[in-house]
Structure 1
Amino acid sequence: MRKVELQGASSPENELTLATNPSAIPNGIAGLDLVSGPVGKPSRHESAIQHVTGAARYVDDLIEPANGLFAAVIRSPIARGTITRMDLEPVRKSPGVVCVLTVDDVLGHTDIGPVFPGDPIMTSTEVKFFGQCLAVVAATSELAARRAAQAAILEFEREEPLLDAREAVASQQLVRPSHVMTMGDVDSALASSHQVLEAMQEVGGQEHFYLEGQVSLAMPTEDGGMLVYTSSQHPSEVQKLVAEVLALPLNRVTVDMRRMGGGFGGKESQAAQWACLAALLASKTGRAVKLRLPRQDDMIMTGKRHPFANSYRIGIDEAGRITAADIEVIGNCGNSPDLSDAIVDRAMFHADNAYFLGNARIAGHRAFSNQVSHTAYRGFGGPQGMMIIERAMDDIARAVGKDPLDIRKLNLYGTEQSEPERTLTPYHQTVEFNYLPQLIEQLETSSDYRARRVAIRQFNQHSPILKRGLALTPVKFGISFTLQHLNQAGALIHIYTDGSIQVNHGGTEMGQGLHTKVGQIVAQTLGVELERIVVTATRTDKVPNTSPTAASSGTDLNGKAAQNAALTLRQRLVEFLAAEKTVSPEAIRFENGRVSWGGSEDMSFAELVQAAYVGRVSLSATGYYRTPKIWYDRTNARGRPFFYFALGAAVSEVVVDTLTGEYRVTRVDILHDVGRSINPAIDRGQIEGGFIQGMGWLTTEELVWHADGRLLSNNPATYKIPAIGDTPPVFNVALFEHENDEATVYNSKAVGEPPFMLAISVWSALRDAISSLSDYRLSPDLDTPATPERVLKAVMAVQAQCAQNGMTGGAV
């Protein structure tokens, strides 16, 4: 949903100013108290107790309606081919079966592609990936439905699947056209460079592995509509697609989403299919239907983080400063577009990461493969794009004989004050408010980077088997949906006559603390205690036409919309009280659940609300917000796709056993920029969790596909996510003290995705340890995930090259 093509968005003008400009805040509510109140305090997650006690209700925990049915999916056992026979009569005759549907039973749309067509809800002809949905069955129990699904008689004309992304690009088998961004004269700059380096890189995908799998419960309503409970990051899209599949207007479909047990992007677009199938069965039978994918089916049938095949040609000067960069990123998109157009674009946007490239050409390709359609995942392509330039930084350092940190610092974007000529990205957005140099210097000092570097070199010289590695890598991550119209949000607030407050907004809660932060924002704006606020389930009949909770924008958008609704209510209360007490609106203050004016006079918030109700003041308001300043002209590949950049850096230290390839991450130091933190406890949790998840992506989480297109790593026994034992024993996290210079909600910054990419420092540290075998003269090839097998292979390659060239060093 973060597609970059912004139709009619050639100018950043004509943006809303309410709540983005302090001067636009109505009289009587400027200068809100930011000293007291919940914003900036480490409040616990609003559902923390329910989570740890098991009282939190997810879709599968809801009390099932009487006569409810359970659904199971009949899926393809091949990756590519044509269906020659699909006999479902044995399924219909299975015990407990009530209904069996195929694509021919769909009254409305049969393609549920979120942006572009290509995602059939079921297929009865062509098969494009292993596990593709062929039919769906509903039965009186979950076990009966699953057993019945196994009874289908299926025959196919098989074809050889296409699984290699580079091969797909070579044969021009793409799900969407390629895109190129350019700046300067790349070819001439490469030709005149002191040295040109080249490399290729394979970046593996990643399974979302959310604790709660894909699940939906659909219930027919008395007016012929549908109520859907679903674990989705995008309820409005589920509403739209269910309506289209059932041939209903959107106002007949309501989607309710209280919480998810994790999403990470896997439920941004791909939760919709299971909701649509459940709704189809519910519509056909007139009974409630639940569809929950078993874990193995979930892993087989839903998309992953896109694997990428990257390459670069980079010119440098004698010091190691980049003079030209020719970068190619290829996303393995699977069998359909899904969100891949925007994901590959974001990989291109972040192929520079924190570095000024000068003359640059960045090409992005969207390769077709006979795999499940890959989809959104934390970072949305940004991490895969960053990997290629971070590899280049290490390679340049080895080529010129310098510490990789010095090369990174040498190539950082400049600041508007000191180096304005070095602030332009390859997509022609100026990097404003760049304090990465300051942040890196602070982390370099606090982590004792230089002293540890000396100690590690000495250790490696005297340790024949174990080698230690150290790396500091930065992150510059753009914040905004690059599809412009998604940068909007709505909210609804009710104040009841006892002073309690109910908030509803368009964002979804998946454990990241969005509802907690929104509650804090509303409480701060109205000057009440956080305990007075209840944030209710996200529902399409309360706040319509919502954007997905993604792009790290949940708080930026929904928090601002909720703040605007609260400002409206506060202004009404101020005007009422000012008239009642004959005081100036500017004299009225809201703080700690009390309202004061004229020095010693005050009343409780609840008393004011009761008086306002008697005075016939509306105590319900909507709020709306849209992100200012952003635009992008895709035809000319230039614009300002991001409102601001989130920044951060991490230092990771590892120790590698060169006999086995096994390794440990022994210490991590993080300094991350969250602007003015709304909730430091939740922000720290996001940073820690994002880092560990990123570390898993780059080290242990290996997707293995059979040559016939089957996913072999399809269960927890064959796919290893990080465990508590993988957490670094020394794990220091600090928040960078600097408010957002852009007018975000309370000058905070997004924190969902950016910390994920801090884990690149672990991969870079592994390369550093392996490079020590050559006395840091060789830069090893190390594709990801950097499993012990890949690490050992890289060790052996460096040792062989050292022996071939007569090189010694690092106790080879």
Structure 2
Amino acid sequence: MADIGTARIHGSVGDALAHDSARKHVTGEALYIDDLPEPARCLHLVAGGAARAHARVVEMDLAAVRKAPGVVCVLTAADIPGVNDISPIHAHDDPLLCAGEVMFWGQPLFCVAAETRAAAQAAVRLARTVYEDLPAILSIDAALAEKSYVLEDQRLTKGNAAAAIASAPRRLSGRFRHGGQDHFYLEGQVSLVVPSEDGDVHIFCSTQHPTEVQMNVAQVLDRPANAVTVEVRRMGGGFGGKESQATQWAALAALAALKTGRPAKFRLDRDDDMVMTGKRHDFIIDWQVGFDEDGRIQGIDFVQSARAGFSADLSGAIADRAMFHADNAYYFPHASILSHRCKTHTVSNTAFRGFGGPQGMLGIEEVIDAIARELGRDPLDIRQVNFYGTDERNMTPYHMTVEDNIIDELVRRLEESSNYRHRRLVIAAQNAASSIVKRGLALTPVKFGISFTTSFLNQAGALLHIYNDGSVHLNHGGTEMGQGLFQKVAQVVAAELQIDLDRIKISATHTGKVPNTSATAASSGSDMNGKAAQAAAIILKERLIDFAARHFNVPAADVAFLPNRIRAGAEEITFDALVKLAYLDRVSLSTTGFYKTPKIDYDRKTARGRPFYYFAYGAAVSEVAVDTLTGEYRVTRVDILHDVGRSLNPAIDLGQIEGGFIQGMGWLTSEELWWDEKGQLKTHAPSTYKIPTASDRPPDFRVQLQDFAENREDAIHRSKAVGEPPLMLAISVFRALSDAIASVADYRYLPELAAPATPERVLAAIDALRERDA
């Protein structure tokens, strides 16, 4: 029989395809929560926030709020039938609504449900609250002075850092500060809740963690989890900000829906979103290092102090990951890393792309540059001499052996392709000749561990149906926030079943289809959900092979899946036709798939183990030009070589690398969070908080995927995660700015530059360096 169908399927693993919703994104056809048709009699919610950072509520008069036009109900902590707690780790320190003690400026005290959003907003302003002010801790420095922590300190140790530093030929110490970052997703926090019979609720929620929303809402409502269904087709960005902090708004909408019997919708406006939701943790990093005349580190001591905010949220795991990434790509013979998780009367900080990894890496890159300035060497030379190696130089401070190291080769290739050494000489000459515009160049590496550091989250499930016309319905526990996860997982299924991608229907994440999902976070979405979906596809494929063997009376070994068809011995049949025959023969064409990440083992008590399945690597060279009269600067060229293993979809991976880099660049340059002396966030809108724009993209931007090594571990199709690691490539921009500033004093000193490196901070660092050099 002649071949049936195409010679190759369209949309297999490795194909460079556009995002499955790309056209809908740009035409406005993609439906987000706020685009869904609102059910009849839908209520709209607005929260009333506290006007103190730390205080006791003496009186809260809501009489005028309740009487306001359009108001249907007003919710307070007293209206919660279950537990007044939405803590993601059940620390019981994160109330849904304040029950007496205000812990940060803007903390929700009550919630108004009205006929319109405008009516709810007007009513909120009618509340009258009397406070008894309490002492407020508003900074990391103050928290350290008061020993105010949300969790116990943690420490990683390897060898004897103090002795190694003391005996080293050279020693340095310093303190480095960097700020937080607002997620600034295009779609803010939003949930639409539709009540059902028996007190059940269906929640359409913009969340990275549907199961966590489900469980916490059930706890608030005093209902079992099976009474709460959470669904999300897509988010307009998440970046970690919707991993734990979507719960509050979903729970309030659910509470209003049950209390009134009417659908309820909660959409935060941008100002409320920025005030009431957490950020990336800001850090103070104190360090001491001992090193030899070649710049090789002998011993190192870090004290990392993170601002957690008023509650634990995910700060424990985030601070842990900052410790795990204090080494970045460098080997420490002796190390001590101490972590403080500081409690302040500010909004509770939360997950953000990189989840503590970027903060840890910033510290060691500051140390590397300090060593280079002390020795009068090119910082790249110091980086390369300290890279992880093999045998004796391959154990991390948490005692995990680095088995997949490619950083030295990757950096060497980027060094050559970017013409780094020649450009360094040219820039030095230009700086010597220019008294105003100074240029800087830096090459920095990335080694990023892939897996949830909370071990039980390393699991995923999938649901796969083949309908009797040959079309396929795919569902899994991952969520789509613009990163292309759904497309990649569909490509995995297409490759396994050998059918064209357009035969597969991508469906919304739904807790009623796949239960007990993990958050789409830790860069593990494609790894885990791809493996779970592949497992389901293999099960159905094996059932079809068994059926084809019986139907055509051939051994199962003689049945092969070919593009859009199956060959059984000498016979060929289309995929659709075989599925129809299997259905008529009562073969089950539906199954689930499950995956748990292997080899993960970490003991927090001993601070030893293997918290990561593998590492993703990358490196970037950034060049900047700085106006020393104003502190203003431009990023003029960026070269990136990044490791994604064997790419599932190169087009999507390149987009993630570019986007991650720009987001990281914003964090380190323009995105400044500022609270006043009362604890009120003043940078709470686009007018005062500056994210990068299209014009900030480097005019010369060269991004390549490394092609000399695949993933050594059995990750999905030997690919590697790409969500978070590229953000840290932007550290090269910060280091390039430091390099340009250092040229003011002929590169003899390390500039005192905190992040974000705003023009004001750059100018201050230049002035300080000139005074020091005078």
> TM range, normalised to the smaller chain?
over 0.9
Give yes or no for the alignment of 1:252 onto 2:223.
Answer: no
Give yes or no for the alignment of 1:83 onto 2:53.
Answer: no
What is the rounded CA distance, in whole Å, between the counterparts of 2:293 and 2:193 in structure 1? 65
CA shift for structure 1 position 223: 2.3
* Counterpart AA for 1:702: E
Partner of 1:382: 357
Correspondence for 2:626 among 652, 656, 680: 656
Partner of 1:583: 554
Q: Secondary structure at the match of 1:560?
A: helix
Partner of 1:401: 376
Partner of 1:674: 644
* Counterpart AA for 1:85: E
Structure 1 residues 583-604: Cα deviation after superposition (integer angstroms, max 9, x where no partner): 23233222321112335x3111
Partner of 2:3: none
Are 1:37 and 1:527, in contact at CA under 8 Å, matched by a contact in 2?
A: no
Partner of 1:49: 23
Partner of 2:701: 731
What is the rounded CA distance, in whole Å, between the counterparts of 1:587 and 1:676 in structure 2? 29
Partner of 1:647: 617
Partner of 1:604: 574
> TM-score scaled to structure 2, two decimals?
0.98
Q: Secondary structure at the match of 1:461?
A: helix
Structure 1 residues 471-513: Cα deviation after superposition (integer angstroms, max 9, x where no partner): 0000000000011110000000000111110000000000000
Extract unaligned runs of 5+ from structure 1.
1-32, 804-812
Structure 1 residues 554-591: Cα deviation after superposition (integer angstroms, max 9, x where no partner): 01111100000000000000111011112232332223
Give yes or no for the alignment of 1:716 onto 2:686.
Answer: yes
Q: Secondary structure at the match of 2:475?
A: strand
- 1:143-222 equivalences in 2 (<5 Å): 143-222=118-197
Give yes or no for the alignment of 1:549 onto 2:517.
Answer: no
* Counterpart AA for 1:170: A
Partner of 2:262: 287
Partner of 2:385: 410
What is the rounded CA distance, in whole Å, between the counterparts of 1:528 and 1:339 in structure 2? 41
What is the rounded CA distance, in whole Å, between the counterparts of 2:129 and 2:168 in structure 1? 60
Structure 1 residues 67 and 35: alpha-carbon distance in aligned structure 2, compared to 1, 3 A threshold: closer
Are 1:117 and 1:337, in contact at CA under 8 Å, matched by a contact in 2?
A: no
What is the rounded CA distance, in whole Å, between the counterparts of 2:248 and 2:592 in structure 1? 31
Structure 1 residues 279-318: Cα deviation after superposition (integer angstroms, max 9, x where no partner): 0010100000001111100000000000111111000011
Partner of 1:488: 459
Partner of 1:10: none
CA shift for structure 1 position 37: 5.7
Partner of 1:538: 509
Give yes or no for the alignment of 1:562 onto 2:511.
Answer: no
* Counterpart AA for 1:400: L
CA shift for structure 1 position 187: 1.5
Structure 1 residues 257-296: Cα deviation after superposition (integer angstroms, max 9, x where no partner): 1110000000000000000000001010000000111110
What is the rounded CA distance, in whole Å, between the counterparts of 1:79 and 1:269 in structure 2? 22
What is the rounded CA distance, in whole Å, between the counterparts of 2:363 and 2:140 in structure 1? 16
Give yes or no for the alignment of 1:502 onto 2:476.
Answer: no
* Counterpart AA for 1:94: A
Structure 1 residues 80-117: Cα deviation after superposition (integer angstroms, max 9, x where no partner): 11111100000000001110110011110101111122
Are 1:659 and 1:792, in contact at CA under 8 Å, matched by a contact in 2?
A: yes
CA shift for structure 1 position 36: 8.0
Give yes or no for the alignment of 1:232 onto 2:207.
Answer: yes
Give yes or no for the alignment of 1:451 onto 2:422.
Answer: yes
Partner of 2:729: 758
Correspondence for 2:95 among 90, 104, 120: 120
Extract unaligned runs of 5+ from structure 2.
1-6
Partner of 1:571: 542
Correspondence for 1:303 among 269, 274, 278: 278
What is the rounded CA distance, in whole Å, between the counterparts of 1:645 and 1:392 in structure 2? 22
Structure 1 residues 466 and 120: alpha-carbon distance in aligned structure 2, compared to 1, 3 A threshold: same
Structure 1 residues 474 and 139: alpha-carbon distance in aligned structure 2, compared to 1, 3 A threshold: same
What is the rounded CA distance, in whole Å, between the counterparts of 1:357 and 1:726 in structure 2? 36
What is the rounded CA distance, in whole Å, between the counterparts of 1:357 and 1:216 in structure 2? 47
CA shift for structure 1 position 194: 0.5
Structure 1 residues 330-367: Cα deviation after superposition (integer angstroms, max 9, x where no partner): 11000000000111010000001000011000001100
* Counterpart AA for 2:121: R
Correspondence for 1:320 among 278, 282, 295: 295
* Counterpart AA for 1:339: L
Partner of 1:363: 338
- 1:32-71 equivalences in 2 (<5 Å): 38-71=12-45
Partner of 1:741: 712
Are 1:160 and 1:708, in contact at CA under 8 Å, matched by a contact in 2?
A: no
Structure 1 residues 697-725: Cα deviation after superposition (integer angstroms, max 9, x where no partner): 00000001101000000000000000000
CA shift for structure 1 position 35: 9.8
CA shift for structure 1 position 534: 1.1
* Counterpart AA for 1:412: F
Give yes or no for the alignment of 1:337 onto 2:312.
Answer: yes
> TM-score scaled to structure 1, two decimals?
0.93
Partner of 2:666: 696
Partner of 1:638: 608
Structure 1 residues 183-203: Cα deviation after superposition (integer angstroms, max 9, x where no partner): 001111111101111010111
Structure 1 residues 375 and 34: alpha-carbon distance in aligned structure 2, compared to 1, 3 A threshold: farther
* Counterpart AA for 2:619: A
Q: Secondary structure at the match of 1:798?
A: helix
Give yes or no for the alignment of 1:628 onto 2:598.
Answer: yes
Correspondence for 1:778 among 749, 752, 755: 749
Are 2:9 and 2:563, in contact at CA under 8 Å, matched by a contact in 1?
A: no
What is the rounded CA distance, in whole Å, between the counterparts of 2:57 and 2:11 in structure 1? 63
What is the rounded CA distance, in whole Å, between the counterparts of 1:659 and 1:466 in structure 2? 8
Are 2:548 and 2:568, in contact at CA under 8 Å, matched by a contact in 1?
A: no
Are 1:189 and 1:315, in contact at CA under 8 Å, matched by a contact in 2?
A: yes
Are 1:37 and 1:592, in contact at CA under 8 Å, matched by a contact in 2?
A: no
What is the rounded CA distance, in whole Å, between the counterparts of 2:19 and 2:12 in structure 1? 13
CA shift for structure 1 position 222: 1.4
- Count of aligned positions: 766
* Counterpart AA for 1:98: V
Give yes or no for the alignment of 1:101 onto 2:75.
Answer: yes
Structure 1 residues 706 and 37: alpha-carbon distance in aligned structure 2, compared to 1, 3 A threshold: closer
What is the rounded CA distance, in whole Å, between the counterparts of 2:768 and 2:112 in structure 1? 53
Q: Secondary structure at the match of 1:174?
A: coil
Partner of 1:479: 450
Structure 1 residues 356-379: Cα deviation after superposition (integer angstroms, max 9, x where no partner): 011000001100111000000000
Q: Secondary structure at the match of 2:262?
A: coil
What is the rounded CA distance, in whole Å, between the counterparts of 1:564 and 1:266 in structure 2? 30
Correspondence for 2:408 among 426, 437, 441: 437
Q: Secondary structure at the match of 1:111?
A: coil
* Counterpart AA for 1:569: L
Are 2:240 and 2:351, in contact at CA under 8 Å, matched by a contact in 1?
A: yes
Q: Secondary structure at the match of 2:679?
A: coil
Partner of 2:585: 615
Partner of 2:4: none
What is the rounded CA distance, in whole Å, between the counterparts of 2:714 and 2:99 in structure 1? 52
CA shift for structure 1 position 77: 1.1
CA shift for structure 1 position 683: 0.2
Partner of 1:466: 437
CA shift for structure 1 position 167: 2.5
* Counterpart AA for 1:789: E
Are 1:665 and 1:762, in contact at CA under 8 Å, matched by a contact in 2?
A: yes
CA shift for structure 1 position 34: 10
